A and B are shown apart, each in its own frame.
Chain A
Amino acid sequence: MPRSRKKALERMQDDFIWVLTHQLRTIVTPIKLFSDMLLTNRAEALTEKQRAYVQNIHTAANRLTEAVRDLLNGYRIQAGEVELVYESTLLGDFIKGIVEEARRGEPTRICTVRLEQTQGTKETPLTVSVDKLLTGQVLKALVHNATIYSPRDRCAIMVSWHTDAKKDAVVVCVADQGVGIPKHMQKNVFNRLFRAPNALKMHPEGLGFDLYLARLIMGALGGDIWFLSEPDKETKFFISLPLHPK
């Protein structure tokens, strides 16, 4: 294909995504705003059932908003349009914030979460240069998965981190004692829209997009993502972030 034609096609695709994102957001915005007002307006008391219905509408609208944002981010990363913004960050504090954010997304699930720097002493916390937005998105997805794929009565998550001199990277591990990923399906985990049958059963509303996007993001960051999983026992997801990003 001639170069100019390829450029024109890319341009059309960009415009299409731009319009689509704007239109979807415009449609979902009033659903969010009006349901938000119904939930916070104490003057007009709703019955318990009405309130629950409105809460569902509000949650669904929020999920749609997040899906649009994730799809747009995924598209931008794939197209190489994302500018990386590195900030010197206290890793422990950053991870703590992300975990709290992820936990707020599933308020009905009770989980114990342990955070640990498995290197040196607590008095010398690791400071690394990270793109907080993109790294945060990946970690949030991993903590969210660890939460929803753990049995409701036994949710224990451990997030740990250390530097790996050989990789010249910092490695973060999110470990759960959940349902695990069936062995014969482990090769498909990062494919887009893939859902393992046990995952589908536990969390039918998932899209199968988070881990696909996570791998794209880790590629863009010059890092990596991988996992170890024993079905019905545990799953450990790892990400590595280069200590000296290019």
Chain B
Amino acid sequence: MNTKPLILLVEDDRFISRAYKDGLEQSGFEVETATNGVEGMEQVRQRAPHLILLDLIMPEKDGFEMLAELKIDKDLKRIPVIILSNLGQSTDIQKAKDLGAVDYLVKADSSMQEVIEKVKIHIAEHMT
């Protein structure tokens, strides 16, 4: 691949967003950010990212709503979405998977390296 894979990071906490953005960029990804589901949808349409990292609890439009909206769009539903949330209850995880998320990571329990590995795996799967 000539260009760097583009990741859209939808996250309302600016400290967390900055950390993942820097970590992913250092690992060779291009990163676009959005702070809620409304901005997120705009960015998806404009930039067509290779993968979306999506938080769940956000103002305006939350991650569940954004995920549902992506999956009913015939063009956008192909973009893999990894949920990156601090909700860890099995009901939340099940709901996100039912809506079509390819993976679910609890932020507080995942290292930067684990997040980057998951991103690499799902981008590679999606490209083949």
Residues of chain A touching chain B, judged by Cβ–Cβ distance below 8 Å, are 18, 21-22, 25-26, 28-30, 32-34, 36-37, 40-41, 65, 68-69, 72, 83
Q: In the complex, A25 Cα to B109 Cα: how many Å? A: 9
Q: Which of B19, B86, B107, B113 contacts A34 (CB 8 A)?
A: B19
Q: How many residues of B contact A (CB 8 A)?
A: 22
A22-B86, A25-B107, A83-B90 given; A37·B16 CB < 8 A? no
Q: Which of B106, B107, B108, B112 contacts A37 (CB 8 A)?
A: B112
- A25 and B22: CB pair below 8 A? no
Residues of A within 8 A of B23 (CB): 33, 37
Residues of A within 8 A of B22 (CB): 37
The binding surface of chain B is classed by DSSP as helix
A22-B86, A22-B87, A26-B86 given; A32·B15 CB < 8 A? no
Q: Which of B16, B89, B90, B111 contacts A26 (CB 8 A)?
A: B16
Distance between B116 CB and nearest chain A CB, rounded to angstroms: 11
Q: In the complex, A72 Cα to B108 Cα: how many Å? A: 14
B29 contacts the other chain (CB 8 A) = no
Name B40-79 residues within 8 Å CB distance of A: 57
B3 contacts the other chain (CB 8 A) = no
A22-B86, A37-B19, A37-B23 given; A32·B108 CB < 8 A? yes
Q: In the complex, A72 Cα to B106 Cα: how many Å? A: 14
26 CB contacts below 8 A, A to B, read A18-B87, A18-B89, A22-B87, A25-B86, A26-B107, A28-B108, A29-B13, A29-B15, A29-B16, A29-B19, A29-B86, A29-B107, A29-B108, A30-B13, A30-B15, A30-B19, A33-B16, A33-B19, A33-B20, A33-B112, A36-B113, A37-B23, A37-B112, A41-B26, A65-B109, A68-B108
Q: In the complex, A30 Cα to B13 Cα: how many Å? A: 9
Distance between B90 CB and nearest chain A CB, rounded to angstroms: 7
A34-B19, A37-B19 given; A26·B13 CB < 8 A? yes
Q: In the complex, A34 Cα to B17 Cα: how many Å? A: 11
Q: Which residue of A lies closest to B14 (CB)?
A: A30
